[in-house]
Amino acid sequence: MTALQEQDNDVYALIEKEAKRQKTMLNMIASENISSRAVREATSSVLSHKYSEGYPGKRYYQGNEFIDQVEQLAIDRAKQLFGAEHANVQPISGSPANFSIFLALLEPGDTFLGMDLACGGHLTHGSPVNFSGKLYKPHHYGVDQNGFIDMEEVRKIAVAVKPKLIISGHSAYARTVDFEKFSEIAQEVGAIHLADISHISGLIAAGIHPSPFPHTDVVMTTTHKTLRGPRGAIILCKEAHAQAIDKAIFPGSQGGPHNNLIAAKAVAFQEAMTPEFKQYAAQVVKNAQMLAQTLMDHGIPVVTGGTDNHLLLVDLQGLVGPGKGAETAKLLEQAGIICNANSVPYDPAPPYKPSGLRLGTPMLTSQGFMEEDIQTVAVLIASVIKNPETVKEVRASVDQLCARIIS
């Protein structure tokens, strides 16, 4: 970044500081990852200069010959990667993508069923502060006392409220999603099934988690989590919904697409088809399972007693008390371990002051951490949670771990 350093050293210096932070701390935010150099090069390419409202072969601007080819390549790769009938690669992020799906398939005031935010769902699955809760009529399913989704309970709720749309998927649920059963319930009540696979799409692409296809009507995923692409999203669907989805993206909710990010998505999709990516995704889950088991071995409660995917939830109520998630996350940050406070099922504390932590392994796995390394990380986390006075000692151990693996 020589040009940036010469022209604007303030911005350059901040980027360098962030790069150093990522290399000298244990980044365990479940929704974060590291994209390849190829993805980053596509993201910063000259494709960002071009306006291309519309779709390949149907643009409102001239000069899109090569832009059309880039977007079509991304579409074809997305369809191949996930086995989808139709793909829209223009959504700029997950929440706007879900908004576009609602716009395409529902009318304001329509009833839908999604996972409760407090039990692992997402804001766009019906939170009252989100468009999904303000413009539509949400109902929610949750988890049982052990933290698992009870599919028979989901069915009972669906039969009772008769939603037009049912959402499967999550942002903080550590177990396998039964997409086939969700589709059976949707068919029984005459609902459309939307699978939000933003967190687990990389695991699905690698065959580590069951796919929502061919069971699901519409699938949305971000591209920057376990998929290791640029920040953005895509929508996959059956041909029956293709026209409505495309119109909801453009002109319904977006204007000119971010062509540089579409190119970077295409690169990520190609990477996700390689044997190396499949090995990576498998290691993400192995690392998460080692993290969960080691934490439990050291007296740290993990919701559902483990994980099937890339993340887990720690319940702090019995160790440090309700509502202590944010305080604990700040202590861990002082120790060089980055995670986020998160509600746990049936949390007595409010969402802004939750009682748990969410931990993930995608980024550490990208940086080369294996199970034995994760075991060490888990011991350090347990030390800070159980004895905050060890923060400085843990920070020194984190520095050594990062220097050995990341640097």
Q: Given a cut of 80, is residue 57 above it in pLDDT?
A: yes
Count of beta carbons in the 10 Å neighbourhood of residue 46: 8
pLDDT band at 351 (very low <50, low <70, confident <90, very high): confident
Give residue for tokens 């990380």. 377
Q: Which of 40, 155, 231, 353 is catalytic?
A: 231
pLDDT over threshold 80, residue 22: yes
395 is catalytic: no
**How many Å is the Cα radius of gyration of the chain?**
21
Measured CA to CA, the distance from residue 27 to residue 377 in angstroms comes to 11
**Location of each CATH 3.40.640.10 domain in the chain:** 40-272
Q: What sign results for the dihedral spanned by CA atoms 257, 258, 259, 265?
A: negative
Q: Which of 71, 196, 271, 373 is catalytic?
A: 196
pLDDT attached to residue 249: 98
Residue with tokens 């009870």: 150
The average pLDDT across 386-395 equals 98
Going by C-alpha positions, the residue among 272, 263, 229, 268 that lies closest to residue 90 is 263
Query: Among residues 225, 265, 358, 395, which one is catalytic?
Result: 225
Catalytic residue among 12, 41, 50, 53: 53
Summarize the confidence of residues 331-357 as an average pLDDT: 96
Average pLDDT over residues 314-338: 97
Residues of the chain with CATH 3.90.1150.10: 275-405
Q: Is 61 a catalytic residue?
A: no
pLDDT at position 43 is 98
Range 272-303 burial, b when 16+ CB lie within 10 A, else e:
beeeebbebbebbbbbbbbbbbbbbeeebbbb
Q: Which amino acid is at 235?
A: I
Ranges of beta strands (E only) in 310-394 are 311-315, 337-338, 340-342, 356-360
Contact between residue 346 and residue 144 where contact means Cβ atoms under 8 Å apart: no
Rounded average pLDDT over 259-269: 98
Q: How many CB atoms lie within 10 A of CB 254?
A: 18
Q: What pLDDT does residue 268 have?
A: 98
Q: Residue 407: pLDDT above 80?
A: no
* Model confidence pLDDT, tens digit, residues 30-49: 999 999 999 999 999 999 99
Count the alpha carbons within 13 Å of 52 in the hemisphere toward its beta carbon.
Answer: 23
Give every CB contact of residue 66 below 8 A, 6+ residues apart in sequence: none
Q: Which of 43, 222, 226, 365 is catalytic?
A: 222
CA proximity to 44, closest of 233, 270, 257, 260: 260
Residues 168, 182: Cα–Cα separation, whole Å: 7
What is the pLDDT at residue 1? 76
Active site residue 373: no
Q: Catalytic residue at 222? A: yes
Contact 332, 28 (CB under 8 A): no
What pLDDT shows up at residue 120?
92
111 - beta bridge partners? 137
Is a pLDDT exceeding 90 seen at residue 91? yes
Q: What is the mean pLDDT of residues 87-99?
A: 97
Of 119, 114, 143, nearest to 131 by C-alpha is 114
- pLDDT at residue 398 is higher than 90: yes
Domain 275-405 fold = Aspartate Aminotransferase, domain 1 (3.90.1150)
Instruction: Give the tens place of pLDDT for each residue, 165-190.
Output: 999 999 999 999 999 999 999 999 99
Mean pLDDT over all residues of the chain? Answer: 97
Residue count of the chain = 407
Site of tokens 């953005």: 232
40-272 placed in CATH 3.40.640.10 = yes
